């Protein structure tokens, strides 16, 4: 049975979303994670593979079963698509995901926007959306929600929110290691002197990616297959500022440790109309960051 939670009295109470798992977790860990989300105080759950099309530990029937369980628990389910498509087979898979998605799907590549053909979708954080004209373009093609790029300052986001197309929700990447770039090369395989096509799914050995340190021994980046992430964890904790900027949804990106406490912290802040969410101590190397939202270096953290 899904856990019920007290609703905030704020007319614009923020929703909580759990983004797609960005790492390669084994099937049992993935299924256990989503089973736990059935009882978690979140509103939206994104499913599917965004980073690498080779990551197929989930069986064909797993995703529909997970989606049904989450929907029965009262969650909105959104299927996500790849952020970097390089082959016809990946385009075909994208098409099947879009056709079989029970409701909204998340487009992380403009090819997915084309496949939508007017169907309602979420414009994902990997689309380059930085102005009102692009937002209007996507809304006219079916976008009902926009996940802002992680490097977009909150001041710019507020300006775009004020002139957003009618009915368009705005979601912000509030928690998690920031997705910075994608490459045709697999950095994790390369780190183990393996060709990309013979990687042996070595990324499965790193449930939160590989932390890359500077020469000064400071956590700097995270290698996650073909994806480069920040080492620091984005922590958008100023709930009042996010709400004032017109944000509707906060996205929490899964990590293998301490994620339940992160969900609880954001839910408590929303339900009590707190100005700032009090997060647990970071469990991953790199600490917290929030610089991009404040319009400064992304690695910076003001707390």
DSSP 130-181: -SHHHHHHHHHTTEEEEE--TT--HHHHHHHHHTPPTT-EEEEEEEEEEEEE
In sequence order, what are the residues at sequence separation of 6 or more whose Cβ sits closer than 8 angstroms to the Cβ of residue 83?
A: 50, 51, 108, 109, 124, 126, 179, 182, 227
Q: Kindly compute the dihedral angle of the four CA atoms of residues 208, 276, 42, 9, in this order, to the nearest 10 degrees.
A: 180
Nearest to 194 by CA among 41, 54, 77, 79: 54
pLDDT tens for the chain, 303 residues long, are: 344 444 444 446 899 999 999 999 999 999 999 999 999 999 999 999 999 999 988 888 899 999 999 999 999 999 999 999 988 999 998 998 898 888 899 999 999 999 888 899 999 999 999 999 999 999 999 999 999 999 999 999 999 999 999 999 999 999 999 999 999 999 999 999 999 989 999 999 999 999 999 999 999 999 999 999 999 999 999 999 999 999 999 999 999 999 999 999 999 999 999 999 999 999 999 999 999 999 999 999 986
d(C-alpha 229, C-alpha 180), whole Å = 5
**How many other C-beta atoms are found inside a 10 Å radius of the C-beta of residue 120?**
14
- Between the alpha carbon of residue 297 and those of residues 152, 256, 300, the distances in Å are 11, 26, 6
State the maximum Cα–Cα separation within the chain, in Å, rounded to a whole number: 55
DSSP 233-281: EEE---HHHHHHTT--EEEE---SSSHHHHHHHHHHHHHTT-SS--PPP
Q: Give the tens place of pLDDT for each residue, 72-114.
A: 999 999 999 999 998 899 999 899 889 888 889 999 999 999 9
**Domain boundaries, given as residue ranges, for the chain:** 15-177+233-284
Mean model confidence pLDDT for the chain: 93
Q: Give the tens place of pLDDT for each residue, 27-62.
A: 999 999 999 999 999 999 999 999 999 998 888 889
Q: The pTM is what? A: 0.93
Domain 15-177+233-284 classification at class level: alpha beta
């Amino acid at each position: 049975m899904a856990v019920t939670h007290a609703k905030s009295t704020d007319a614009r109470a923020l929703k909580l979303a759990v983004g797609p798992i960005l790492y390669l977790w084994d099937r049992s860990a993935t299924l256990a994670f989503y089973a736990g989300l059935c009882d978690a105080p979140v509103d939206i759950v994104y499913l599917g593979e965004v980073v690498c099309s080779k990551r197929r530990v989930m069986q064909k029937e797993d995703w529909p079963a997970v989606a049904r369980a989450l929907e029965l628990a009262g969650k909105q389910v959104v299927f996500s698509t790849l952020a970097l498509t390089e082959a016809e087979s990946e385009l075909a898979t994208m098409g099947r995901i879009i056709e079989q998605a029970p409701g909204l799907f998340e487009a992380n590549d403009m090819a997915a926007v084309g496949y939508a053909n007017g169907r309602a979708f979420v414009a994902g954080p990997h689309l380059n959306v930085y102005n009102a004209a692009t937002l209007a373009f996507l809304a006219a093609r079916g976008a009902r929600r926009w996940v802002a790029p992680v490097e977009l300052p909150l001041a710019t986001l507020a300006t775009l929110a004020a002139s957003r197309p009618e009915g368009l929700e705005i979601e912000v990447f509030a928690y998690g290691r920031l997705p910075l770039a994608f490459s045709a090369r697999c950095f994790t395989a390369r780190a183990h002197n393996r060709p990309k096509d013979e990687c042996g799914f070595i990324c499965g050995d790193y449930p939160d990616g590989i932390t890359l340190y500077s020469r000064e021994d400071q956590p700097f980046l995270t290698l996650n297959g073909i994806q480069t992430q920040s080492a620091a964890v984005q922590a958008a904790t100023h709930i009042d500022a996010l709400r004032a900027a017109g944000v509707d949804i906060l996205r929490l990106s899964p990590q293998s440790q301490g994620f339940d406490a992160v969900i609880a912290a954001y839910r408590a802040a929303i339900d009590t109309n707190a100005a700032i969410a009090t997060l647990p101590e970071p469990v991953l190397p790199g600490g917290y960051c929030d610089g991009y939202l404040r319009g400064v270096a992304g690695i910076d953290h003001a707390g």
